[in-house]
């Protein structure tokens, strides 16, 4: 299936410090593209892949699972590690969960973690019925575009395939047991008003990780997709400062980074 316009992956060849960005469930790289472009503008190497089953139609997501999504970001991380001595992982929602698992499994190879409204579990009574319900109902209403900023939209599916939701639930349960293996510096940014992922998920992440260097930032003016919301610029600035603190001298002023490329399709 052809990609939706705006759902293309983003890649930028910058300096020796890299950032891998992971988008959320039923979303696309569009939700993180401004963040990716900001990091690239500061001279960092950036990779923002498109997760399998995303960016086309919801039926394509139905036949994928967490193993496919994780394999894609794991592959991208390994490619970055081959080229860059310092690699940070970051993500929104499920993308934050993927970033945390990369940190848990790759250890010291990951220099730091930045997550925005990270998911920790699938909520609601229906979540417990997913093992059976997914065989009876193909999809439910979508979760995209939870944004406070007027006229701003997220490029995501208007339906959530329940087979994929069931796989997401299994992934988050697995990740919860792996969170104590996360020891890297962690920047967690969360929206108190989030209609997709409740504050309890961020609290659980903070309680479970073993990181000593932890910073929590509240995004008071934004909903779930904060990377496209009123607090987007704060996310960009906080993450850039976080990377600069841990990797001194690698964050450049805009326009002074190495020439790079973007790739779509």
- Residues catalogued as catalytic: 93, 194, 224
Q: What is the DSSP letter of 6?
A: T
Burial class of residue 125 in the structure, from the number of CB atoms within 10 Å of its CB (0-12 exposed, 13-18 middle, 19+ buried): exposed
Spatial contact of 56 and 1, defined as CB atoms under 8 Å apart? yes
For residue 169, give the 3-state DSSP assignment: helix
120 neighbors 101 (Cβ within 8 angstroms): no
| Cα 196 to the center of its chain, rounded Å | 14
Q: Which residues pair with 218 in a beta bridge?
A: 190
Residue 195: phi, psi to the nearest 5?
-95, 5
Question: Degrees (nearest 5) of the Cα angle 52, 236, 145?
Answer: 50
Write the DSSP assignment of 51-116 as a string of letters: PTT-SS-HHHHHT--HHHHHHHHHHHHHHHHHH-SEEEEEEETHHHHHHHHHHHHHGGG--EEEEE
C-beta separation of 79 from 25 below 8 A: no
Are 107 and 183 in contact by the 8 Å Cβ rule? The answer is yes
């Amino acid at each position: 299936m052809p990609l939706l316009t705006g759902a293309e992956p983003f890649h930028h060849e910058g300096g020796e410090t890299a950032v891998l960005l992971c988008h959320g469930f039923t979303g696309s790289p569009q939700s993180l593209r401004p963040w990716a472009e900001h990091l690239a503008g500061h001279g960092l190497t950036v990779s923002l892949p498109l997760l399998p089953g995303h960016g086309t139609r919801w039926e394509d997501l139905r036949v994928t699972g967490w193993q496919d999504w994780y394999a894609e970001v794991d592959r991208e991380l390994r490619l970055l590690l081959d080229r860059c001595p310092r690699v940070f992982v970051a993500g929104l929602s499920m993308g934050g969960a993927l970033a945390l698992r990369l940190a848990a499994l790759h250890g010291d190879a990951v220099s730091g973690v930045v997550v925005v409204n990270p998911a920790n579990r699938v909520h609601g009574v229906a979540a417990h019925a997913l093992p059976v319900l997914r065989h009876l109902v193909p999809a439910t209403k979508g979760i995209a575009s939870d944004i406070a900023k007027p006229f701003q939209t997220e490029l995501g599916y208007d339906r959530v395939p329940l087979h994929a939701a069931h796989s997401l639930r299994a992934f988050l349960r697995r990740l919860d047991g792996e969170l104590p293996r996360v020891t890297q510096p962690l920047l967690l940014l969360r929206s108190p008003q989030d209609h997709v992922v409740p504050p309890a998920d961020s609290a659980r992440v903070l309680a479970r990780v073993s990181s000593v260097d932890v910073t929590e930032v509240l995004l008071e003016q934004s909903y779930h997709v904060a990377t496209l919301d009123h607090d987007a610029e704060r996310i960009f600035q906080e993450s850039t400062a976080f990377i600069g603190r841990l990797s001194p001298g690698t964050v450049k002023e805009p326009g002074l980074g190495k020439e790079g490329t973007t790739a779509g399709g």
